[in-house]
């Protein structure tokens, strides 16, 4: 088991936002975290990255307590794709992606040829070839989001945490992102936890889904087990039509307006 979460409660100012959440994640799997706004998805993700202290419970990664690891050790094991990255200084895309290698490098000195090779590979994966000298603050939202993903891949961390990685992306790049995550999980024995509002993307690409409401788990399991009319009605308070995608044969969700 790559990640084990046991009865954790996390919150702000002594008030728990996520309550008694437990789950585990195997290598090679993608877990989608779904839920309405304010249901505690991002807070849970912050706890998994040790950005927020736990009020209760414990998290282990590769059998080791998250609390017992140093910041650098955590960064080597867990990579984060955040929602928004704004840079005020003129940083090139290559420099930005190379910051993903920080935890692997010594305190002094420059990046090794291996670091550069990894950065270039990740740029290629994310369709960013030829962007090396482009400035981050002059990229479009979608290009920037791809650079953020490339940087997370450059860490070569086993665990990927992605907070709405398809925000700002066009249709083809949304699929590319999920394909990349899936590939990475299968080829490198990694696992990913993805927060998304796109139920169809979750149904297509996720191996497991956790549906959160008010900080507790409403349902967890495979997409077919979790994405039921009843659950979605409870979590999002909307009527949905469920059928089958004729090509992928996966569940297709259509909101009834």
Partner 1 sequence: MSDSKNEQQRLMGVFALTQTKMLKATEQQTRFFRPRRFLILIVLLFFFCLTVSVFFGSENLNFTDLTNLEKAILFDVRLPRIFLGASVGASLALAGASLQSLLRNPLADPYLLGVSSGAALGTMLAFVFFTNLEFTHPILAFIGASTATFTVYQMAKSKAGMNVERLALSGVIVTTLLSSIIVLFTSLLDATKLRSFTFWLLGDLSQGTKNGFYIVLISAILGGAILFSQAKALNLMMIGEKDAFDFGVEVEKVRLIVFVTSAFLVGVSVSSSGSVGYVGLIIPHLIRLSVGSDNRFVLPFSAIAGATFIVFADMIARTVIAPRELPVGAITALIGAPMFIYLLKRS
Q: Which of 54, 75, 193, 226 contacts partner 1 by CB under 8 A? A: 75
Hey, is 123 helix, strand or coil? helix
Report the residue number, 91 or 188, with the smaller CB distance to partner 1.
91
List, in sequence order, every beta strand (DSSP E) within the chain.
3-12, 15-25, 30-35, 56-61, 64-65, 78-81, 159-163, 191-195, 208-213, 216-221, 239-244, 251-256
Q: What is the closest distance, in whole angstroms, from the C-beta atom of residue 241 to partner 1 in the complex?
A: 38
Using CB under 8 A, which of the segments 55-63, 76-84, 120-128, 183-191 binds partner 1?
A: 76-84
Of 214, 240, 246, whose CA–CA distance to 228 is shortest?
240
CB distance 157 to 190 below 8 Å: yes
Q: Which of 15, 71, 187, 246 contacts partner 1 by CB under 8 A? A: 71
Hey, is 104 helix, strand or coil? helix
- Of residues 119-138, those binding partner 1 (CB under 8 A): 130, 133-135, 138
Hey, is 162 helix, strand or coil? strand
CB-based contacts of 169, cutoff 8 Å, min separation 6:
142, 145, 146, 177
Q: Is 249 in the site for partner 1 (CB under 8 A)?
A: no
Q: Which of 102, 120, 142, 228 contacts partner 1 by CB under 8 A? A: 102
Q: Is 96 in the site for partner 1 (CB under 8 A)?
A: yes
Q: Which two tokens stand for residue 176?
A: 């590319």
Q: Which of 37, 63, 68, 107 contacts partner 1 by CB under 8 A? A: 107
Q: What is the closest distance, in whole angstroms, from the C-beta atom of residue 226 to partner 1 in the complex?
A: 28
Q: HSE, CB side, 13 Å, CA atoms: give it for residue 179.
A: 9
Q: Which two tokens stand for residue 55?
A: 């009020």
Q: Which of 90, 141, 216, 229 contacts partner 1 by CB under 8 A? A: 90
Interface map 37-56 toward partner 1 (x if CB under 8 A): ------------x-x-----
Alpha carbon distance 152, 102 (integer Å): 11
Q: Which of 39, 145, 155, 196 contacts partner 1 by CB under 8 A? A: 155
Q: Is 108 in the site for partner 1 (CB under 8 A)?
A: yes
Binding site for partner 1 (CB under 8 A): 13, 49, 51, 70-72, 74-76, 79-80, 82, 85-92, 95-96, 99-100, 102-103, 105, 107-108, 110, 130, 133-135, 138, 151, 155
């Amino acid at each position: 088991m790559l990640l084990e979460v046991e009865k954790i409660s996390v919150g702000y100012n002594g008030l728990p936002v996520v309550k008694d959440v437990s789950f585990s994640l195997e290598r090679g799997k993608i877990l989608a975290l779904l839920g309405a706004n304010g249901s505690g998805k991002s807070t849970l993700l912050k706890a998994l990255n040790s950005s927020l202290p736990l009020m209760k419970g414990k998290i282990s990664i590769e059998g080791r307590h998250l609390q017992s690891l140093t910041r650098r050790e955590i960064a080597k094991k867990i990579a984060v794709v955040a929602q928004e990255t704004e840079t005020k200084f003129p940083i090139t895309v290559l420099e930005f992606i190379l910051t993903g290698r920080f935890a692997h490098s010594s305190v002094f000195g420059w990046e090794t040829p291996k670091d550069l090779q990894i950065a270039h590979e990740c740029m290629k994966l994310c369709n960013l070839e030829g962007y090396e000298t482009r400035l981050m603050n002059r990229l479009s939202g979608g290009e920037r989001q791809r650079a953020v993903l490339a940087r997370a891949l450059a860490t070569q961390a086993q665990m990927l945490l992605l907070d709405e990685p398809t925000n700002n992306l066009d249709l083809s790049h949304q699929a590319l992102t999920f394909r990349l995550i899936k590939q990475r999980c299968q080829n490198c024995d990694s696992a990913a936890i993805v927060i998304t509002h796109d139920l169809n993307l979750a149904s297509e690409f996720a191996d497991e889904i956790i549906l959160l409401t008010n900080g507790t788990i409403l349902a967890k399991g495979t997409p077919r087990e979790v994405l039921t009319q009843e659950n979605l009605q409870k979590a999002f308070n909307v009527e949905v039509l469920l059928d089958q995608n004729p090509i992928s044969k996966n569940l297709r969700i259509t909101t009834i307006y």
